[in-house]
């Protein structure tokens, strides 16, 4: 190397200490060599004592700073024993008491703060800022530690970024980690490829890899769990599982060994402990209970399990929806009443399916066909639909028939009674339904016995035998029949066609006519007896006259 020598000026300042300018060097110490490299600034007792003619462009300030520097160049060491052991390292900046103290060949490092990078020997392109930052680093490369005691025990870890007091404090050989926040990644040891952002985020993670923790104490207790993503304060704070996704404050907060879970929403999956492969979406979804449940899906605010239930492979969908049995799907909360619509926007029942084509239900049972054998026989009730398309329970036979909808009927003992006081029509061609009747039947009724009841005795025909009953004379009846062509009090053919026949009333009417005939017969018999007596009296008188006439004739 080409040397340039200028003039030498020596001034005695204190005993053993001289000041002078030798060529391009400014030396304020006791010189060891006459030619200590080029363009160096050496200030302090024991600074640059070993620098050779190849050590150029160095600035060394402080007691024993750069003490072992030989051929290293482009270095800046400021502070007590800063860069003390540096030998051939180049382009380093060490600022602070004992910063970069053990550096030998490490280059392009920036250590700022007391004992920052103190143990670094070979590590390169590191940036350590803060008292004790990276103090134990030896051969780790490409690290950025910013904050007091960040990455203190890092020895061989590469490509780490620790920002915040004590962030990544116990890192040894872990690489490719980012820890931002007070004590974030504090116990990181050998785990790699982690991102931890937030106060104490991933605090106890030592072996875990490929994790992303963001939020206050997110992933706090994770030790070896890997491939997790926790976002939110306390998200996954107790978890040591793997392959979990927790998004939201306190989401999965109590999860310990559970793995493969997805919790999205504040407080979602809060109470989960060892449960795995669960999916909870919505604020408070899975918030309480079901700590050991597996493979469940809860979607909606506060969707989850009923109190005390532990379920597996269950699904609850809707705000407040609750499920309490394994292998179940529940839609909607118990209260208020939820309605589910398929193919429509405003369902009118718990489940309404709109196919879009009249006559098509849109509902198919793959394993239940008309060709299959019935599982129950001799049953009287089946499912049908009413005029609105609502599925209803109807009866096909038996004495207790159900029609239209269950709400229109009620059981009264062994009888079925209409709750709406409705009438019943049997047949499609019943044209006349006069008031006062409840059953209309087309084509007739075939039965072995009919019994007709009447409401009270006044509706029966016994009144004909009352003393006050006005029995019409036969001549009057004769005139009425000639005029109307039917008996008095009996409906005409026209009336019967229009209104039908009331069996009870007609029986009472016909019986009244029979009773009237009886009264006529009794009267005729009485008249006959009276006439017979008169006839007998007249015959006696006639016989007596005949006798007198005979006697008179005999006297002549």
Has residue 135 got a pLDDT over 60? yes
pLDDT at 17: 45
**Is residue 483 exposed (0-12), middle (13-18) or buried (19+ Cβ within 10 Å)?**
exposed
- 495: phi > 0 → left, psi -120 to 50 → alpha, else beta; which? alpha
Residue ranges and CATH numbers for the domains of the chain are: 1-159 (2.150.10), 244-357 (no CATH), 380-420 (no CATH), 458-555 (no CATH)
Enter the DSSP assignment of 373: P
CB within 8 A of 214, min separation 6: which ones?
195, 196, 197, 198, 201, 230, 231, 232, 235
Q: Strand, helix or coil at 41?
A: strand
Rounded Cα–Cα distance for residues 257 and 236 (Å): 11
pLDDT in tens, 206-250: 999 999 999 999 999 999 999 999 999 999 999 999 999 999 999
Query: Between 37 and 303, where is the model more confident?
Result: 303
pLDDT at 417: 78
Task: Taking residues 153-174, report their average pLDDT.
Answer: 96
pLDDT band at 30 (very low <50, low <70, confident <90, very high): low
Q: Strand, helix or coil at 415?
A: strand
- Residue from 460, 429, 463, 458 nearest 443 by CA: 429
Q: Which residues of 86-109 are buried (b: 16+ CB within 10 A; e: fewer)?
A: bbbbbbbbbbbbbbbbbbebbbbb
Task: Taking residues 197-209, report their average pLDDT.
Answer: 97
Has residue 22 got a pLDDT over 60? no
Both structure tokens of 105: 């060949």
DSSP for 336-358, please give it.
SPP-EEES-SS-SSSEEE--SST
Quick one: three-class SS letters along 448-481? CCCCCCCCCHHHCHHHHHCCCCCCCCHHHHHHHH
pLDDT at 279: 98
Task: Taking residues 347-357, report their average pLDDT.
Answer: 87
pLDDT at 19: 52
pLDDT in tens, 424-459: 888 888 877 777 777 888 877 888 888 877 788 888
Question: pTM (2 decimals)?
Answer: 0.66
Has residue 62 got a pLDDT over 90? yes
- Residue from 101, 98, 66 nearest 80 by CA: 98
């Amino acid at each position: 190397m080409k040397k340039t020598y200028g003039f030498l000026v020596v001034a005695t300042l204190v005993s053993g200490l001289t000041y002078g300018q030798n060529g391009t060097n400014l030396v304020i110490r006791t010189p060891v060599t006459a030619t200590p490299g080029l363009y160096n600034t050496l200030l302090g007792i024991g600074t640059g004592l070993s620098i050779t003619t190849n050590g150029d462009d160095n600035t060394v300030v402080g007691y024993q700073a750069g003490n072992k520097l030989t051929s290293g160049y482009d270095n800046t060491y400021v502070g007590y024993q800063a860069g003390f052991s540096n030998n051939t390292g180049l382009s380093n900046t060490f600022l602070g008491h004992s910063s970069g103290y053990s550096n030998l060949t490490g280059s392009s490092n920036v250590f700022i703060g007391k004992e920052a990078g103190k143990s670094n020997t070979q590590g390169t392109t590191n940036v350590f800022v803060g008292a004790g930052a990276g103090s134990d680093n030896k051969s780790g490369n490409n690290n950025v530690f910013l904050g007091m005691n960040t990455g203190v025990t890092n020895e061989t870890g590469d490509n780490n970024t620790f920002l915040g007091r004590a962030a990544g404090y116990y890192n040894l050989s872990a690489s490719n980690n980012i820890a931002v926040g007070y004590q974030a990644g504090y116990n990181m040891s050998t785990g790699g490829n982690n991102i931890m952002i937030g106060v104490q985020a991933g605090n106890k993670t030592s072996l875990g890899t490929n994790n992303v923790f963001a939020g206050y104490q997110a992933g706090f207790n994770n030790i070896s769990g890997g491939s997790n993503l926790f976002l939110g304060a306390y998200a996954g704070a107790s978890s040591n599982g793997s392959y979990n996704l927790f998004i939201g404050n306190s989401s999965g907060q109590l999860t310990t060994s559970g793995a493969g879970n997805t919790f999205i929403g504040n407080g979602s999956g809060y109470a989960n402990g060892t449960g795995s492969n669960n999916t909870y979406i919505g604020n408070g979804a899975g918030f309480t209970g079901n700590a050991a449940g597996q493979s469940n899906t809860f979607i909606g605010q506060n969707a989850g399990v009923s109190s005390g239930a532990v379920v597996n492979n269950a699904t609850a969908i809707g705000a407040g929806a609750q499920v309490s049995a394994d292998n179940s799907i529940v839609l909607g909360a118990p209260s208020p009443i939820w309605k589910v619509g398929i193919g429509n926007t405003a369902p009118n029942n718990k489940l309404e399916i709109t196919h879009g084509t009249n006559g098509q239900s849109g509902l198919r049972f793959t394993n239940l066909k008309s060709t299959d054998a019935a599982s129950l026989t001799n049953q009287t009730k089946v499912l049908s639909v009413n005029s609105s398309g609502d599925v209803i329970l109807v009866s096909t036979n038996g004495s207790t028939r159900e029609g239209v909808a269950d709400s229109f009927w009620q059981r009264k003992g062994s009888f079925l009674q209409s709750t709406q006081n409705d009438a019943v029509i049997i047949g499609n061609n019943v044209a006349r339904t006069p008031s006062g009747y409840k059953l209309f039947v087309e084509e007739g009724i075939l039965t072995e016995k009919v019994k007709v009841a009447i409401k009270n005795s006044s509706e029966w025909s016994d009144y004909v035998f009352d003393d006050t009953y006005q029995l019409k004379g036969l001549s009057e009846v004769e005139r009425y029949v000639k005029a109307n062509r039917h008996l008095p009090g009996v409906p005409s053919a026209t009336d019967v066609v229009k209104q039908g026949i009331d069996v009870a009333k007609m029986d009472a009417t016909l019986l009244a006519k029979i009773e009237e005939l009886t009264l006529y017969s009794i009267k005729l018999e009485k008249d006959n007896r009276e006439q017979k007596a008169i006839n007998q009296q007249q015959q006696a008188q006639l016989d007596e006259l005949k006798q007198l006439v005979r006697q008179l004739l005999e006297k002549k």
